[in-house]
């Protein structure tokens, strides 16, 4: 194998954004018929270097070789022509179009599109790769997780020889992860080269032949895929990290639930049923995990509980105060905090960190009808220090890394000392260090007596943080268990709609 040129090779890749060096002389290659994982914290430069390989960004210095030959990759079209495909973190889908139409884009150089053929190809791809989506569904009606599945299908259904995957399993249940890995292994055995980016270290070890780690724009090292999780995590963050430990002195959940939901019903897109007869409770000092594949009512449940969607019927109480149908302002007054799955949509990128931290409570900072700029700044400085936000008060939020954006959101919500915290996908797309921090903050709130409803498609995360688990499928609760007694295989079956309901 050493006499054969790598399928893709990056030599001395450097990328500068003004004074910021995002990539500093990075060397990386993926061989034919192997999975090479790329790890690194947010801001480490891994996304930038892969965007360069796919033609979305141009390097300041360095070269790209495909099968040992230098290639000028100036656009995704150049990359596709060179046999490179990529699933990016930020979706490149046309929202008004259907799934089938999105999968067909770029496949034909003609002006026409055979819709029947496009749907057939989409259905065939769905069956082949075991990733279920509706070819006729419009992208704008899909959840974040479902959109990610479309991106995975779009990349896999193209005839590429080098495939870059960024967090491809985030919305899959264990059986679907196994199926995807089996498909990748089969394709790799036939010569496909895969760059696999994931924050799930166990997955990296399960699928990769080699692992390269970036830190602060530089290549730290390349190690075998069998390398221990702790060593990989330490390489990523530059210090040992052994995960978040659940506190042993947290109070037992109270007998009277803080949050109680009874027979809740709600509609979703196109007024179709999204929640049906949902009943659950969360006590003070308890984390209740909600497991399920994306698109089974989790988004609508979070929206109802945060005042963003009105239920069609049912009851929602906090400390026995009825809140069903309350608007977001009333929910906040009832001390319900919400950390949504789309962190970018909850903040205003062009506004400063300081103003994003007070966005939902500007009236508290008015003096004589005007905003007290000094109070806003002092408030920001306090929260920046308290929540370890790596930014200044005046920095636009859009310039922050994903982990620091999530810290801004955490600070805004948790600083109000909520009685109930509704959390959705809190660590999606975050690196090991940021994930550890976010999880530790949730456990601290639990120890302080908050009732936390945690929605996540990361089963490992739910098992690590939750006291109890419920499984939602097609808008209904189909199973419930204490986390200590949870069986991963059974949970996976329930999440896929194949298990026996509780």
Decide if 412 contacts 339 (C-beta within 8 A). no
How far is the C-alpha of 119 from the C-alpha of 101, rounded, in Å? 8
Q: Give the tens place of pLDDT for each residue, 413-424.
A: 999 999 999 999
How crowded is the C-beta side of 374, counted as CA atoms within 13 Å? 1
Q: Are 227 and 59 in contact (CB under 8 A)?
A: no
For the cut 50, the answer to whether the pLDDT of residue 241 exceeds it is: no
Do 8-237 and 259-495 show the same overall fold? yes
In a 13 Å sphere around the CA of 432, the CA atoms on its Cβ side amount to: 27
- Where are the domains positioned within the chain? 8-237, 259-495
Q: What tens digit of pLDDT does each residue of 299-321 get?
A: 999 999 999 999 999 999 999 99
With tokens 């479902």, the residue in question is 146
Res. 470: pLDDT tops 90: yes
| Sequence-separated (6 or more) residues with CB below 8 Å from residue 130 | 176, 179, 180, 183
Pick one of 3.90.245.10, 3.40.50.300, 3.40.630.30, 3.40.50.170 as the CATH number of 259-495.
Answer: 3.40.50.300
Residue 371 burial (CB count, 10 A): 14
Give the pLDDT mean for 47-76.
Answer: 94
Range ranked top by mean pLDDT from 164-168, 275-279, 432-436, 498-502: 275-279
Contact 416, 440 (CB under 8 A): no
In the chain, pLDDT over 90 holds for what percent of residues? 51
The pLDDT, as a whole number, for residue 502 is 46
- The DSSP call for residue 138 is B
User: Token pair for residue 142?
Assistant: 């899909």
Overall fold of domain 8-237: Rossmann fold (3.40.50)
Asked if pLDDT for residue 190 goes beyond 60, the answer is: yes
- Residue with the two structure tokens 């890749």: 13
Distance (Å, whole) CA 331 – CA 325 = 10
């Amino acid at each position: 194998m050493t006499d054969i040129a790598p399928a893709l090779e990056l030599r001395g890749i450097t990328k500068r954004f003004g004074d910021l060096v995002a990539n500093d002389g990075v060397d990386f290659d993926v061989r034919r018929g192997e999975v090479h994982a790329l790890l690194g914290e947010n801001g480490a430069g891994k996304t930038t270097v892969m965007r360069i390989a796919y033609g979305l960004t141009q390097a300041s210095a360095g070269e790209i070789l495909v099968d040992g030959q230098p290639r000028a990759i100036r656009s995704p079209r150049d990359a596709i022509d060179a046999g490179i495909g990529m699933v990016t973190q930020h979706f490149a889908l046309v929202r008004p179009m259907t799934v089938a139409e999105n999968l067909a884009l770029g496949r034909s150089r003609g002006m026409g599109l055979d819709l029947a053929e496009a749907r057939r190809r989409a259905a065939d791809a769905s069956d082949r790769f075991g990733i279920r989506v509706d070819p006729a569904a419009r992208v704008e009606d899909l959840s974040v997780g479902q959109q990610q599945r479309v991106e995975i299908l779009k990349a896999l259904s193209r005839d590429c020889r080098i495939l870059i995957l960024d967090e491809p399993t985030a919305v899959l249940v264990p059986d679907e992860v196994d199926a995807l890995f089996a498909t990748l292994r089969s394709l790799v055995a036939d010569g496909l080269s895969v760059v696999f980016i994931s924050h799930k270290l166990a997955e990296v070890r399960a699928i990769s032949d080699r692992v390269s780690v970036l830190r602060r724009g530089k290549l730290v090292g390349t190690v075998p895929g069998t390398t221990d999780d702790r060593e990989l995590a330490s390489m990523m963050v530059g210090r040992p990290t052994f995960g978040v430990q659940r506190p042993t002195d947290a109070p037992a959940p109270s007998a009277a639930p803080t949050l109680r939901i009874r027979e809740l019903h709600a509609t979703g897109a196109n007024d179709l049923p999204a929640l049906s007869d949902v009943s659950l409770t969360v006590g003070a000092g308890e984390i209740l995990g909600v497991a399920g594949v994306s698109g089974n009512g989790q988004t609508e449940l979070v929206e109802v509980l945060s005042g963003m969607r009105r239920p069609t019927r049912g009851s929602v109480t906090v400390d026995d105060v009825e809140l069903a149908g309350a608007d977001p302002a009333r929910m906040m007054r009832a001390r319900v905090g919400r950390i949504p799955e789309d962190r970018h949509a909850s903040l205003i990128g062009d506004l400063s960190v300081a103003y994003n931290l007070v966005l939902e409570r500007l009236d508290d900072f008015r003096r004589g009808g005007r905003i007290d700029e000094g109070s806003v700044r002092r408030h920001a400085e306090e929260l920046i220090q308290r929540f370890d936000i790596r930014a200044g008060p005046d920095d636009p939020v859009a310039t922050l890394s994903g982990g620091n954006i999530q810290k801004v959101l955490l600070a805004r919500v948790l600083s109000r000392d909520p009685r109930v915290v509704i959390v959705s996908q809190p660590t999606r797309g975050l690196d090991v260090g940021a994930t550890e921090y976010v999880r530790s903050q949730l456990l601290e709130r639990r120890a302080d007596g908050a009732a936390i409803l945690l929605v996540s498609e990361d089963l490992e995360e739910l098992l690590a943080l939750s006291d109890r688990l419920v499984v939602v499928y097609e808008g209904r609760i189909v199973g419930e268990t204490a986390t200590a007694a949870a069986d991963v295989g059974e949970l996976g079956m329930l999440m896929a709609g194949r298990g026996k309901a509780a």
